[in-house]
Amino acid sequence: MPERSVRTTGRMGAHRRAVEQIKESYAAIPDDAAPRLAKATTNLFRFRDGGKAAKLSARDLDQVIEVDPVTRTAEVQGMTTYEHLVDATLPHGLMPYVVPQLKTITLGGAVTGLGIESTSFRDGLPHESVEELEILTGDGRIIVARDDNEHRDLFRAFPNSYGTLGYALRIRIKLKPVSPYVRLTHLPFSDADKCMLAMQEICERGEHDGEKIDFVDGVFFRPGEMYITVGQFADRAPYASDYTGMRIYYQSIRTRTRDWLTIRDYLWRWDTDWFWCSRAFGVQQPLVRSLMPRRWMRSDVYRRLVGLDRKYGVTARIDRWRDRPVQESVIQDIEVPVERGAEFLDFFSAKVGMTPVWMCPLKAREEWPLYPLEPGRLYVNFGFWGTVPLPRGQFDGYYNRMIERAVHDLDGHKSLYSTSFYPREEFWRLYNGDAYWPVKRSYDPGGRLLDLYDKCVRGR
């Protein structure tokens, strides 16, 4: 047997053993304890305040089982990070169709929750390149779900279910070919309406200046200053910039018109500084940056620091000592139709005022029950992450509730990876409870797993 076949067979055998282990562990959890996956890292910003829960170890479900360059597919365990997946696919000249921007986002997390990047204007969301899901369901079964088998209802409802229908144990995804380099062009705009019109035209035509484009995203720095970045695959490059050390990628957008990155550095261009959020930890100060090991300049390190700060209340204590206003965390990704994008930026600038804001166009290729996006319609994802001082007399949730109302007034959609405040009836109307509950009753009739509202709004 060829070495590659032996290796793949061995990995699949290890996967089956891991599946049996987690199935047995799940069955052993008491009925009054809510099961919860124990993950080494998380990119969620729904901090739980306790409650009786039993953790399932996922340490043996974080491997790439196989990359097949002939069929351009990969068999991947659900807890595998995109960093490890990309490391396995790039040597074959391949990548997932959509690679979310942070290294430690897991494939299972992106499929059951939010995933988006600069290929999403053409390739949709991560779950749209999934061929098969192996799922541990709420009632303890191991189900293989595909779009063409008897578990199609689970396959279609799994995206945006956030682990409330089951856990992805193995995923087969399609891959696309890549080139060694990406050529970037940063296009400046001073008017939000013109910026959104240009983004729409570029995405609809799939080209800029008569050349096919492969990536599109952008940054809003302030009213009157925003940029669209278009990227094109390239076989050669006159140079390759490095933004993993002293230089900072998002700052380069304001000073360069053209840039070149290796494909790997392009995929992780946002991770080194967690977009721009590393500035909260002083990491963008030259002295601090020069002393900080590169291996620590990663999104998962910053996320751990946020968790520690929330646990021990360090920032809140300092703010009280300095007599600063109470801060509200405003950490969200939302999507509105591109034709309403300028309206959202006007609202956000006037009422919230946080900058920068990430702008990423996306278009769902098909209809997915729990993702309320109109197929074929171009949306813009706006991502903003930080804190805002609360006005006197207002309480935590003031800004986030305001954003929720504005987004849905603009026919938009909000991701559920962070805090949400919807009343129950409104939530189920917005996130298609009519489609969710029949699937929930079929695969978790005893309610072992939290439902989507309890998990994403009540934070249980």
User: φ and ψ at 31, to 5 degrees?
Assistant: -60, -25
Q: Which residue has the tokens 């169709």?
A: 97
Cβ contacts of residue 91 below 8 Å, gap of 6+?
none
Omega before 69 within 30 of 0, i.e. cis? no
Enter the pTM of the model.
0.92
Q: How far apart (Å, rounded) are the C-alpha atoms in residues 455 and 460? A: 6
Which three-class secondary structure state does DSSP give residue 166?
strand
Which pLDDT score is estimated for 352?
A: 96
Task: Give per-residue pLDDT as tens, 179-233.
Answer: 999 999 999 999 999 999 999 999 999 999 999 999 999 999 999 999 999 999 9
In 107-165, where do the E strands start and end? 130-137, 142-145
Task: Give per-residue pLDDT as tens, 293-335.
Answer: 999 999 888 888 877 767 776 666 666 666 667 889 999 999 9
Contact predicate 36/53, CB 8 Å: yes
Span(s) in the chain for CATH 3.30.70: 313-421
Contact predicate 110/82, CB 8 Å: yes
- Which of the two residues, 170 and 371, has the higher pLDDT score? 170
Which pLDDT score is estimated for 316?
A: 63
Q: How far apart (Å, rounded) are the C-alpha atoms in residues 129 and 73? A: 10
According to CATH, the topology of domain 3-178 is: 3.30.465
Which pLDDT score is estimated for 32?
A: 78
Which pLDDT score is estimated for 53?
A: 64
Q: How far apart (Å, rounded) are the C-alpha atoms in residues 362 and 120? A: 5
Mean pLDDT score, 81-103: 97
If phi > 0 it is left, if psi is from -120 to 50 it is alpha, else beta; for residue 334 that is beta
Q: How far apart (Å, rounded) are the C-alpha atoms in residues 37 and 163? A: 9
Span(s) in the chain for CATH 3.30.465.10: 3-178
According to CATH, the topology of domain 313-421 is: Alpha-Beta Plaits (3.30.70)
Length of the chain: 460
Q: How far apart (Å, rounded) are the C-alpha atoms in residues 356 and 110? A: 24
pLDDT at 2 over 70: no
Computed over every residue of the chain, the mean pLDDT equals 91
Task: Give per-residue pLDDT as tens, 12-58.
Answer: 999 999 999 999 999 888 877 778 777 666 655 545 554 556 778 77
Letter string b/e over residues 307-346, b meaning 16 or more CB atoms within 10 A of that residue's CB: eeeeeeeeeeeebeeeeeeeebbbbbbbbbbbbbbbbbbe
Cβ contacts of residue 52 below 8 Å, gap of 6+?
32, 33, 34
Compute and round to an integer the Cα radius of gyration of the chain: 22
- CA dihedral sign of residues 349, 355, 356, 361: negative
In 338-425, where do the E strands start and end? 357-362, 379-389, 413-414
Residue of 300, 305, 265 lying closest to 282 (CA atoms)? 305
Which pLDDT score is estimated for 318?
A: 64
Which three-class secondary structure state does DSSP give residue 148?
coil
pLDDT at 360 over 90: yes
Task: Give per-residue pLDDT as tens, 112-164.
Answer: 987 899 999 999 999 999 999 999 999 999 999 999 999 999 999 999 999 99
Which pLDDT score is estimated for 136?
A: 97
Residue of 272, 243, 239 lying closest to 258 (CA atoms)? 239
